[in-house]
């Protein structure tokens, strides 16, 4: 469950030239026209629309999928011990069926093993959460359940969870989630309690059953006719029960609204004349009216726009609970009770029942029932952003005169008491507070942030896709959205942008989707809706480029310049050029100014070879598509001197958690053996430097210890070590071997070897 909280949520293409593009050119192609971008006219393909399934039809299709799951697993070449469990199914108007499956191994749930099969006629494609084959050497745990439970309680304590206690015994699972180098047998423990701000906590902790290392921890509580406080006089569903009316909506799956001020499950709201609330917080029914209205509009939005029959698409209504806590300025969704819970806000006078917050919380339920994005790292940011995106779309769908639609989240509830919104989708960083700041664009730190702040990347993408960049006024509110690359972005329109996001969420995203994966998923959704050669497709790519996720399209070519890292004389190197085009046919590549000794493959764009001279080379790679349109990527390629007494490899090598990597250096021109005081200089970045064990390995396989395990908690190593290599020939390929031996009691991010060198 993701909290909309004070502090934590301080805060959400083509055969013709794009509207912002200049005429085709053959020069650098690095800038678009200065003309203001306009909205792209795009009509979705009828075949990509969703066919509404009744609960009975959906149940039957899932039953058919369950009956054929063995044959399906075999067709996917899954292992004999792997099984599929159908979770969800969606059908498109063109007959394409998208079936989402969970996976098990030897009867154990596979966390991060979910996949979606897309079938039409005899064609089948698959979107996988984990590309690896699911297999573990043994299903017998070396770490006892009691130790895993203690580790889970320690994790809850580190997150300052109050009243923490295990919910049942740990269960054995296979972990294949985000960051897993390979599947691992693990314990999953759920610890309940209370978060710092008073929100209930249901913390899921995954512990390696072999080493005891903590593999991940995820919060499952996602925090977000009557007279309402925020939307004026509205219609709410009710039923007559004896002499009283009950706040139960019979047209929307029996959605019910409860008052939980007395604790427990709460009391169903009733009234004697079916006129609810008076528009003020003094009347306890008022918050219930806002909650019921929010649930109603959210149900209608998903039903009318996408044919979705309720949050879980099963025709069953959720539950809303109001008046939670005392001065509780928060709201949250809980999958376990299938309910939204709302506090009354600061001074118990600003309930968190504003429409976009209500839709935000219910959308956490939609995400859980579909992609089930893990609530940590980048997938957590996407989970939180999905709720902001759809909450905003619901607000525009409702089009209330009192709660005028905008790209601000929680602007009426005034959760922090500052008179400002929780989030600004056009420029997320405007929500800065003592708790943090939402990101305007992706950085390498994104995966380390709280999902409420990493969500800014997707919120900004969505705003740019819907409305475009630059200054504009929407419903009386002025926006001025910047872009990371300084290039303008043309608008696809709110309706089409919402269609793209929902389709990507329900068809192509999986539990471990990150921002790069979200770009792929939304581009695929745009291809389904508008075609790969459409301006709409390119608009999606350019909106992502504007938040630093992937390259932009210029002259219908999206391309990313190769790594700007240095190379070294005498050390083999290779760098790919990543490029795609919306034109049919293949791309061709050429280059000028490459370092001496390097060349480019005209068909693949791979630059490779061994540099023969040092210097800073002004290089340019030109990419040409089948329409003779070109894009040129200029960059400077620096080659370091390497040879004589000093040899260096400046290439970066990532170090997966608890794995080993090797970086080579080729030594030539030396005579005899190496010296007894060979100098090994290492530049290494890692959250736990002390756990990195380093060896120097000669060409004959002899391994010399450079650095052993030490209890050093630093995060950077820049040092020169002396080793006795006098028994090893100097010439040949030497390797620096780095093994991550971080103790399992620590949760760390993967590090990397930045560079290393030998001095004879």
The residue among 579, 605, 640 that closes a domain is: 640
The residue among 640, 672, 697 that closes a domain is: 640
Strand ranges (E), 15-69:
50-51
Residue 559, pLDDT score? 96
Residue 354, pLDDT score? 93
Residue 9, pLDDT score? 24
DSSP labels, 107-126:
TEEEET--EEEEEETTEEEE
CATH number for the domain harbouring residue 682: 2.60.120.260
Please, which residues bridge with residue 479 across strands? 472
Residue 129, pLDDT score? 82
Per-residue confidence at 436, pLDDT binned at 50, 70, 90?
A: confident
Kindly state whether residue 755 falls inside one of the protein's structural domains.
yes
Please tell me the distance from the alpha carbon of residue 704 to that of residue 697, in angstroms, as a whole number: 6
Please tell me the distance from the alpha carbon of residue 568 to that of residue 583, in angstroms, as a whole number: 37
pLDDT tens per residue, range 206-221: 988 888 888 888 777 6
The residue among 589, 620, 640 that closes a domain is: 640
654 and 634 co-located in one domain: no
Kindly state whether residue 494 falls inside one of the protein's structural domains.
no
619 and 662 co-located in one domain: no
Range of the domain at 601: 557-640
**What is the chain's alpha carbon radius of gyration, rounded to the nearest angstrom?**
28
Q: Is 365 helix (H, G, I), strand (E, B) or coil?
A: helix
627 and 696 co-located in one domain: no
Residue 651, pLDDT score? 94
Q: To 5 degrees, how large is the angle CA 292–CA 295–CA 301?
A: 140
Residue 221, pLDDT score? 67
Please tell me the distance from the alpha carbon of residue 729 to that of residue 731, in angstroms, as a whole number: 6
Q: What residues are annotated to the active site?
A: 361, 452
678 and 634 co-located in one domain: no
668 and 722 co-located in one domain: yes
Kindly state whether residue 591 falls inside one of the protein's structural domains.
yes
Kindly state whether residue 703 falls inside one of the protein's structural domains.
yes
Q: DSSP letter at 507?
A: I
674 and 739 co-located in one domain: yes
Kindly state whether residue 234 falls inside one of the protein's structural domains.
no
For the beta carbon of residue 707, count every other beta carbon within 10 angstroms. Answer: 20
Residue 200, pLDDT score? 79
Q: How many domains does the chain have?
A: 2
660 and 633 co-located in one domain: no
656 and 632 co-located in one domain: no
Kindly state whether residue 635 falls inside one of the protein's structural domains.
yes
| Residues in the chain, overall count | 760
Q: DSSP letter at 508?
A: I
CATH number for the domain harbouring residue 564: 2.60.40.10
667 and 750 co-located in one domain: yes
632 and 581 co-located in one domain: yes
Which pair of tokens denotes residue 652?
Answer: 């970066």
Q: Which letter, b or e, does each residue of 244-279 get, where b requires 16 or more Cβ atoms within 10 Å of its Cβ? A: ebbbbbeebbbbbbbbbbeeeebebbbbeeeebbeb
661 and 607 co-located in one domain: no
Average pLDDT over residues 236-244: 88
Per-residue confidence at 2, pLDDT binned at 50, 70, 90?
A: very low
189 pLDDT above the threshold of 60 = yes
Kindly state whether residue 18 falls inside one of the protein's structural domains.
no
626 and 655 co-located in one domain: no
Kindly state whether residue 734 falls inside one of the protein's structural domains.
yes
């Amino acid at each position: 469950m993701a909290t909309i909280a004070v502090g934590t949520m301080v805060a959400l293409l083509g055969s013709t030239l794009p509207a912002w593009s200049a005429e085709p050119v053959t020069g650098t192609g690095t800038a678009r026209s200065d003309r203001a971008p306009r909205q792209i006219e795009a009509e979705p393909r009828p075949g990509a629309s969703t066919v509404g399934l009744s609960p009975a039809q959906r149940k039957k299709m899932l039953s058919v999928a369950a009956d054929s799951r063995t044959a399906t697993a075999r067709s996917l070449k899954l292992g004999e011990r792997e099984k599929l469990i159908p979770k969800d199914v969606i059908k498109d108007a063109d007959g394409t069926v998208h079936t989402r499956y969970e996976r098990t191994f030897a009867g154990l749930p596979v966390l991060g093993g979910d996949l979606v099969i897309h079938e039409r006629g005899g064609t089948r494609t698959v979107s996988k959460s984990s590309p690896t084959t699911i297999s573990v050497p043994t299903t017998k745990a070396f770490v006892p359940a009691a130790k895993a439970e203690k580790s889970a309680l320690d994790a809850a304590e580190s997150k300052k969870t109050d009243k923490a206690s295990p919910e049942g015994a740990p269960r054995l699972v296979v972990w294949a989630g985000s960051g897993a180098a390979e599947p691992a047998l693990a314990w999953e423990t759920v610890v309940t309690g209370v978060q710092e701000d008073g929100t209930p906590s249901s913390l899921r902790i995954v512990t390696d059953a072999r080493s005891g290392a903590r593999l991940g921890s995820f919060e499952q509580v996602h925090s977000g006719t009557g007279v309402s406080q925020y939307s004026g006089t509205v219609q709410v569903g009710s039923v007559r029960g004896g002499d009283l009316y009950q706040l139960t909506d019979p047209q929307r799956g029996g959605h019910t609204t409860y008052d939980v001020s007395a604790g427990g499950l709460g009391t169903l709201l009733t009234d004697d004349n079916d006129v609810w609330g008076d528009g003020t917080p003094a009347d306890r029914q008022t918050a219930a009216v806002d909650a019921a209205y929010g649930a109603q509009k959210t149900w209608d939005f998903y039903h009318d726009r996408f044919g979705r029959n309720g949050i879980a698409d099963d025709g069953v209504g959720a539950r809303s609970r109001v008046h939670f806590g005392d001065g509780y300025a928060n709201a949250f969704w809980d999958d376990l009770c299938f309910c939204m819970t709302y506090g009354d806000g600061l001074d118990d006078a600003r309930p968190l029942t504003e429409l976009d917050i209500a839709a935000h919380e219910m959308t956490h339920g939609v995400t859980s029932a579909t992609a089930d994005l893990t609530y940590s790292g980048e997938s957590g940011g996407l989970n939180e952003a999905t709720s902001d995106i759809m909450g905003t779309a619901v607000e525009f769908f409702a089009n209330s005169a009192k709660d005028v639609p905008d790209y601000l989240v929680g602007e009426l509830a005034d959760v922090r008491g500052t008179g400002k919104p929780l989030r600004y989708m056009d420029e997320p960083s405007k929500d800065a507070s003592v708790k943090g700041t939402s990101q305007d664009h992706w950085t390498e730190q994104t995966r380390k942030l709280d999902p409420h702040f990493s969500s800014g990347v997707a919120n900004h993408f969505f705003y740019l896709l819907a409305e475009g960049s630059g200054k504009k006024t929407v419903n009386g509110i002025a926006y001025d959205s910047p872009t990371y690359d300084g290039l303008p972005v043309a608008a696809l329109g709110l309706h089409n942008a919402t269609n793209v996001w929902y389709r990507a969420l329900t068809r192509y995203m999986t539990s471990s989707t990150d921002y790069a994966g979200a770009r792929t998923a939304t581009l695929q959704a745009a291809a389904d809706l508008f075609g790969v050669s459409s301006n709409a497709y390119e608009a999606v790519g350019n909106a992502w480029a504007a938040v630093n996720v992937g390259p932009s399209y210029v002259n219908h070519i999206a391309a990313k310049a190769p790594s700007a890292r240095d190379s070294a004389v005498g050390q083999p190197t290779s760098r790919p050029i990543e490029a795609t085009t919306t034109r049919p046919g293949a791309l061709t590549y050429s280059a000028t100014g490459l370092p001496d000794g390097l060349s480019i493959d005209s068909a693949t764009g791979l630059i490779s070879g061994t540099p023969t001279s040092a210097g800073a080379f002004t290089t340019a790679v030109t990419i040409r598509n089948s329409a003779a349109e070109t894009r040129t990527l200029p960059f400077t390629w620096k080659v370091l001197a390497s040879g004589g007494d000093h040899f260096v490899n400046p290439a970066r090598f990532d170090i997966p958690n608890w794995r080993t990597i090797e970086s080579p250096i080729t030594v030539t021109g030396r005579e005899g053996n190496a010296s007894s005081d060979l100098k090994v200089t290492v530049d290494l970045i890692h959250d736990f430097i002390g756990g990195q064990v380093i060896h120097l390995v000669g060409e004959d396989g002899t391994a010399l210890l450079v650095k052993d395990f030490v209890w050093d908690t630093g995060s950077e190593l820049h040092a020169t070590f002396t080793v006795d290599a006098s028994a090893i020939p100097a010439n040949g390929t030497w390797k620096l071997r780095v093994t991550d031996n971080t103790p399992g009691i620590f949760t760390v991010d993967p590090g990397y070897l930045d560079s290393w060198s030998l001095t004879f």
